[in-house]
Amino acid sequence: MGRRRPLVTLLALATCAARPVPGPRGEEPFDPARARAEVGWLADPARTGRGVGTPGGEAASAWIADRFREAGLAPALEGGYLQRFEAPHRATLGERNRLAVGGVPAVLPGDWLPLGSSDDGVVEAEVVWAGHGITAPDLGYDDHAGLDVKGKVVLVAQDSPREAAPASAARRPGRRAPPRGGPPPRWRCRRRRGALADGDLDLYKMRLDGSGLVRLTSTPGYDGGAFFSADGKRIVFRASRPETEAELAEYRALLAQRLVRPRKLEIYTMNADGSDVRQVTRLGAASFAPFFHPDGRRIIFASNVGDPTGRNFDLYLVNDDGTGLERITTDETFDGFPMFSPDGKKLVFSSNRNGSRPHETNVFVSDWVE
């Protein structure tokens, strides 16, 4: 992979006390509509993620500098609000990037995307699951404890444990950030142990003891939210699958930054061994949290398909062949994460209804009457 040294744009610190600016505006009341419009402009796809050294990043930097100027803030630097410098940051793809799995060539960038730390070579090895791939002796936490990863491919969860969760081993009072954030330290940890590396957001299954790891999906896209049917023979899941070359390129570029931007999520089913993958819904909306009815022929899930603004989620039921879509809840607040009791007589789900404060989510149990 060839490397270049792009210009990096960084907003310099601004201070009102550095020197006076004629005619500063008085403090204005908070305007939600304006704030929404400003965040919308910065987050618009036209900014292309505001990456360092990209046109979108340059445009966002200039836009924020203009807002500073309008607010009457004096720049801390003589040259203005922006400071430019060079940094080795971005890698560009060369002509010799190749990857083959089981002798089958992978298409670049559709099937894979090498990162800046990728190695050259041929890999044929066992896959080992290592949780979040974090070793934190000061917290008494080690995902690599007891694992033999030498000469093997190590598969890990993309993110870090949720430190805000009370049961998380990464929890520290007063802190919300993961204790060992970012992939580079984790890669170095596994490389010290002799491990190899892996890629896309796919579904896997394994035994409770961590053995027998099997990859179930391999189509490029964001797969997740999987549940087995009551008889254990099938799996239902939600997925966001890029449909065009442009969408696929955007997905890969974001994935390289440990980010995803699923615009649409559809419901899929497959056999427990990963065969016979079938798309159930084609709603063009954000449909997620699917769960099989105990009869194995129907699926309940959450979706915003009924709200033109895409903000409200309700529960829907559909046959596993995609027919018979039925709306189950009609509340004006969020309903999601439904699950049936094993006998199919009860339905449990989460909802923002009846909350004591905004955005509070509670658990509800209802009778399921056919």
pTM equals: 0.51
Q: Which of 70, 91, 112 is the last residue of a domain?
A: 91
- Rounded distance between C-alpha atoms, residue 254 and residue 47, angstroms: 13
Which CATH number fits the domain that encloses residue 223?
2.120.10.30
Q: Hey, is 218 helix, strand or coil?
A: coil
User: The tokens 């994935």 sit on which residue?
Assistant: 255
Task: Say yes or no: 221 and 358 in one domain.
Answer: yes
Task: Say yes or no: 45 and 119 in one domain.
Answer: no
Q: How many domains does the chain have?
A: 3
Task: Say yes or no: 216 and 182 in one domain.
Answer: no
Task: Say yes or no: 81 and 227 in one domain.
Answer: no
Task: Say yes or no: 7 and 52 in one domain.
Answer: yes
What is the pLDDT tens value at each position of the chain, 370 positions in all? 443 333 434 343 444 333 444 444 556 788 888 888 888 888 888 888 877 777 888 888 888 888 888 888 888 777 788 877 765 555 667 777 777 766 778 787 667 766 655 555 666 777 788 887 777 776 677 888 888 877 777 777 655 665 555 555 555 544 444 444 444 445 445 544 544 444 678 898 888 888 888 888 888 888 999 999 999 999 999 999 888 888 888 888 887 777 888 779 999 999 999 999 999 999 999 999 999 999 999 999 999 999 988 889 999 999 999 999 999 999 989 999 999 999 999 999 999 998 888 888 999 999 999 8
Distances (CA, A) of 230 to 242, 340, 341, 362: 30, 10, 10, 25
* Bridge partners, 299 (sequence order): 292, 318
Q: Which of 199, 225, 247 is the last residue of a domain?
A: 199
Task: Say yes or no: 300 and 338 in one domain.
Answer: yes
Residue-number span of the structural domain to which 80 is assigned: 2-24+31-91
Task: Say yes or no: 241 and 226 in one domain.
Answer: yes
Which of 18-47 are b and which e, b meaning 16 or more Cβ less than 10 Å from the residue's Cβ?
eeeeeeeeeeeeeeeeeeeeeeeeeeeeeb
Tokens at residue 69, please?
């100027």
Element (H, E) at 252: helix 245-255
Q: Which of 166, 184, 199 is the last residue of a domain?
A: 199
Task: Say yes or no: 174 and 224 in one domain.
Answer: no
Task: Say yes or no: 244 and 307 in one domain.
Answer: yes
Task: Say yes or no: 181 and 210 in one domain.
Answer: no
Task: Say yes or no: 128 and 253 in one domain.
Answer: no
- Rounded distance between C-alpha atoms, residue 370 and residue 344, angstroms: 10
How large is the greatest C-alpha to C-alpha distance in the chain, in angstroms? 74
Task: Say yes or no: 176 and 225 in one domain.
Answer: no
